[in-house]
A and B are shown apart, each in its own frame.
Chain A
Amino acid sequence: MPITTPKSAYMAGLRDGAPFMLVAGPFALLFGVLATEAGLSVFEVMSFSLVVIAGAAQFTALQLMQDEAPTIIVLISALAVNLRVAMYSAALTPYLGRAPLWQRACAAYLLVDQSYALSHGKFEAEPKLSVPQRMAYYFGTCTLVMITWFGCSYLGAALGTALPQNLPLDFALPIAFLSMVAPMMRTVPHLIAAAVALVISLVAVNIPYSLGLIVAGLAGMMAGAQAELWLKGRDT
């Protein structure tokens, strides 16, 4: 179905975002369970999920607070884990930058891996979309994921420790991220960027405060951009 109006764009986003309910769900559930086990009340768990909306950063903060790390280290580490959203924000700006400020503020609040990955892919594939259509698609990708995120955070907190202990829920996040990134490997520079980032991330794993992630990400981006330039130069 071609996208002709903001409404059809919203519906397309809703459809494309739906599979990620299966991804956000277990992860939010797990956060609710683990945070409750760490002594947080349901109200505190929900505040955390509503205010921050960042799975990996929330887990990082939870872990470090239990280790009694200094508050400033908790904040810096969790924000470093979440630094990639600044790059997502920059990557979406060429497509959404002309939307009204209040819409951009809402979009920023809802910017997560899923909404970024789906929207950026869509905007690249269909450059003719208008700004309102892009915004509608973007909010479509967020809707079900966010409902699931908040709902399952609550469920996890309410269930507490009632879940079976041997469920391998810890691996929901890696599977989620890999399933998102694998279909993006469209060109050789994309593959090179991923390979370089992966290798550096393993080498740099001991760099403190999750900064290894940032170093690896930047190295991957530079490798991809360079590879693109080289391949272009060879063609012409």
Chain B
Amino acid sequence: MTQIDQTTLWIVIFGLGLGSFLLRFTFLGFVGDRELPAWLLRHLRYTAVAILPALVGPLVVFSGENGDTDPTRVLAAIATVAAGMITKNVFAAIGAGALTLFASVYLLG
């Protein structure tokens, strides 16, 4: 691990801050109350249910060292999804996932 260069760090902090704000502001700020086309709205309905699994999938499947699969992470992920789909409750899903993770790390890890 090497020391991060100060100049690089501040360029990244402010570049990332500005870039993130522009990403967040683009539609809300510049598009405003103009009507969006039906096909676009139809796609946007599925943003969260597409992006979030795509973000999590590799983190779950390649969760071990060197990109292996860590069974404790897979079990925790399955428990989270199952509890979330059955109860429709975020709290229950997080609880089930965290408990399963701690239990399986204790038993398997």
Contact = CB atoms under 8 A, between A and B. Distances in A.
Nearest to B15: A75
Interface string B73-109: 1001100111111011111011001100110010000
Contacts of B13: 44, 47-48, 51-52
B94 A22 contact: yes
A230 interface: no
B37 to A, nearest CB: 11
A20 to B, nearest CB: 8
Interface residues of A, number: 94
A118 B81 CA distance: 17
A97 B25 CA distance: 11
Interface of chain B: mostly helix, strand, loop or mixed: helix
Given A61-B12, A201-B57, A86 B26 contact: yes
Interface stretch (A143-151, A152-160, A168-176): A168-176
A181 B12 contact: no
Contact of B14 (A51, A171, A181): A51
A11 interface: no
Interface string B54-87: 1111111111000000001100110011111101
Interface string A1-21: 000000000000000000110
B80 A178 contact: yes
Contact of B52 (A83, A109, A181): A181
A201 B53 contact: yes
22 contacts: A44-B9, A51-B13, A52-B17, A75-B11, A79-B19, A79-B23, A82-B19, A85-B23, A175-B98, A181-B53, A182-B85, A184-B49, A193-B46, A193-B49, A197-B51, A198-B57, A202-B58, A216-B57, A218-B50, A221-B50, A224-B50, A225-B45
Interface of B: 1-4, 8-9, 11-17, 19-21, 23-29, 31-34, 36, 39-63, 72-73, 76-77, 80-85, 87-91, 93-94, 97-98, 101-102, 105
- Which 10 A-B residue pairs are closest in the complex by CB-CB distance? A182-B84, A220-B50, A224-B46, A51-B17, A179-B93, A216-B54, A201-B54, A197-B50, A175-B97, A108-B25
Interface of A: 19-20, 22-23, 38-40, 44, 47-48, 51-54, 56-58, 61, 65-66, 68, 71, 74-75, 78-79, 82-94, 96-98, 101, 104-105, 107-109, 111, 113, 116-117, 120, 168, 171, 173-185, 189-190, 193-198, 200-202, 205, 212-213, 216-225, 228-229
